[in-house]
Amino acid sequence: MAPKSFSFPGIFPALLASSLALLLLPTPIIAVHDYHDALRKSILFFEGQRSGKLPPDQRVKWRRDSALRDGSTAGVDLTGGYYDAGDNVKFGFPMAFTTTLLAWSIIDFGRNMGPELKNAVKAVKWSTDYLLKATAKPGVVYVQVGDAYSDHSCWERPEDMDTLRTVYKIDNAHPGSDVAGETAAALAAASIVFRSRDPAYSRLLLNRAVRVFNFADKHRGAYSSSLHAAVCPFYCDVNGYQDELLWAAAWLHKASRKRAYREYIVKNEVVLRAGDTINEFGWDNKHAGINVLISKEVLMGRADYFESFKQNADGFICSILPGITHPQVQYSPGKNAYFHLPFVKHRISGEKGQK
C-alpha cells in the first residue's frame, strides 16, 4: 500500500498547464508522449476526489456520495469540495490553490483543451461551489473539515469513514491571510472562467472574492499561527502570508480591471516581498506565479509600471530553462520540469508536511 501522502491536488493543475503548453510545441517529443491522455487523466483525477453528493454525470463510477453532514457540527453546510490526496480531510488552502491554477489553465489554454474543456470547467465549479459555502458568513472563512491526525491513523474509503469531521475556521480574532488570500484568488480567477458561460455566477464569485480579500488584508496573520494544532505540520504556511495577499490582488486586478488593485500591488510590492522569486511555485509559495501573471500586463503594453514584476518573472524563467545550471531543477524525458525540493521528497516518503 502506497503512503497516503504520495500526492496532493495542488500539483495537478501545474502538470495540466505544462501539458497544455507542450501541446503547442512542434517537437518530435510530442509523438511519443501522449499529453492529450495526460490532460484527460489529470482532470479525471478531480472527479475521484469529489466529496459530497455526486452528480448524475460522475465518470468515476466506483465513487459514491460521502460526507453528507460536513459542517453540521458548526451549524453550516460544508458539503462538497475535494478530499486531499488519499486523505478524507478537506484542506481549504491547497484546495483553493488547485482551483486558482485550474482556472488559470482554462483562461490561458482552454481553447486547446478540446473535449476536456467542459470537464475542466466542471472541476472548477465543484470547488467554487464549496468555497462559496466556506465564505458565506462575512468575516469568517471555514478552512478545514476533518481531523488530520485521526484521519491519518486509518486509511479508509470516504464512503465508509468514521473519523472526526471537525470544522476549523478563521475569523477577525484568528486571522489567516494566507488561506483567505488564496481563496479570494481562486474565486477571482474562476469568475473569469464563468464570465461568458454564466454571468450571474461570475459576478457572485467576483463579489465574494472582493469581500474575502478585504477580510484577509484587514486582519493580517498566518493561519498556521491561529490554527497551528490543526494545520501543522500538514499545510503550514512556512513562506508567510504576504505572497497570498499580492496573488489575490493580482487576480482581482485581472478579473475586475479596477485601479484600486493596481495601486495596491504597486504600493505593497516591497512590503509584501514581490521580489522573492525562487525556483518554486506551489500552494505555499506564490511569488513566481505573481510575477508571471502580472508581467503579462507589461508584455501586452498595458502596464509599464509593473516592469519590475516582468524582470522578476524573467529571472524565474531563466532559472528553470533547460541548459541553465541549477541543481534543483531537472527535466523529464517529456520535457516537464520537476524539482528536487525537500518537501517533495518528504511527501513521496510519506513524511507529510515536513520541509
| pLDDT tens column, 125-142 | 999 999 999 999 999 999
For the entire predicted model, the pTM comes to 0.84
Residue (of 135, 60, 139) closest to 95 by Cα position: 135
DSSP state of 115: G
What distances in angstroms separate CA 203 from CA 10, 195, 223, 237, 255, one per listed residue? 25, 8, 28, 30, 10
Q: What is the pLDDT of residue 273?
A: 72
Confidence of residue 325 (pLDDT cuts 50, 70, 90): low
Rounded Cα–Cα distance for residues 35 and 49 (Å): 22
Indicate the helix (H) or strand (E) that contains 350: none
Indicate the helix (H) or strand (E) that contains 192: helix 177-193
What does the mean pLDDT of the chain come to? 83
The arithmetic mean of pLDDT across residues 203-229, rounded, is 96
pLDDT at 2 over 60: no
The arithmetic mean of pLDDT across residues 235-240, rounded, is 85
Q: What angle do CA 225, 93, 222 make, to 5 degrees?
A: 20
pLDDT at 340 over 50: no
Q: Give the chain's radius of gyration (CA, Å).
A: 19
Of 118-122, 208-212, 280-284, which gets the smallest average pLDDT? 280-284
Give the list of residues 6+ apart from residue 256 with CB closer than 8 angstroms, or none: 188, 206, 210
| pLDDT tens column, 38-52 | 999 999 999 999 999
Rounded Cα–Cα distance for residues 17 and 28 (Å): 20
Q: What is the pLDDT of residue 285?
A: 86
Rounded Cα–Cα distance for residues 191 and 128 (Å): 10
pLDDT at 219 over 70: yes
All domains of the chain in start order, with CATH? 37-237 (1.50.10.10), 239-332 (no CATH)
pLDDT at 238 over 60: yes
pLDDT at 307 over 80: no
Q: What angle do CA 61, 63, 65 make, to 5 degrees?
A: 120
Rounded Cα–Cα distance for residues 152 and 331 (Å): 32
Rounded Cα–Cα distance for residues 158 and 135 (Å): 24
**SS3 for 261?**
helix
The arithmetic mean of pLDDT across residues 286-314, rounded, is 78
Q: Which amino acid is at 9?
A: P
